[in-house]
């Protein structure tokens, strides 16, 4: 059950229509998870500074069970997420940062229990 949080200082009007849905589909493909299990939040127009600069930028946080737990996995994921984000947002790779967080099944609640028991 991946969770993606995209934050950017780009105004909402500069984001492509359907960005959240497109990010969901891309994440499902990149992480090898069904789209029905992917959760995406997009926040725009935020006051942000990346590498000391307030120029247009974005930050993606990817949290998931079992697919973001190693440097090798995240290196592959990073390349593909960067390809998606640079194309969609029109930003250079130096203006995007990605953080990966591995999750355990007991850390995600769903249907009145946790994923451990589903």
Residue positions annotated with a catalytic role = 2
User: Which residue, 57, 68, 52, 50, is CA-closest to 6?
Assistant: 57
Beta bridge partners of 59: 7, 97
Kindly give, in sequence order, each residue whose CB lies less than 8 Å from that of residue 114, ignoring residues fewer than 6 positions away.
105, 106, 107, 108
């Amino acid at each position: 059950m991946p969770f993606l949080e995209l934050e950017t200082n780009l105004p909402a009007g500069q984001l492509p229509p359907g960005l959240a849905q497109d990010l969901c589909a891309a994440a499902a493909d990149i992480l090898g998870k069904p789209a029905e299990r992917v959760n995406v939040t997009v926040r725009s127009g935020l006051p942000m500074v990346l590498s000391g600069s307030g120029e247009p930028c974005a930050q993606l946080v990817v949290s998931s069970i079992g697919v973001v737990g190693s440097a090798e996995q995240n290196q592959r994921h990073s390349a593909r997420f960067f390809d998606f984000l640079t194309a969609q947002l029109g930003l250079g790779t130096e203006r995007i940062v990605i953080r990966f967080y591995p999750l355990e099944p007991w850390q995600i609640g769903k249907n009145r229990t946790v994923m451990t028991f589903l």
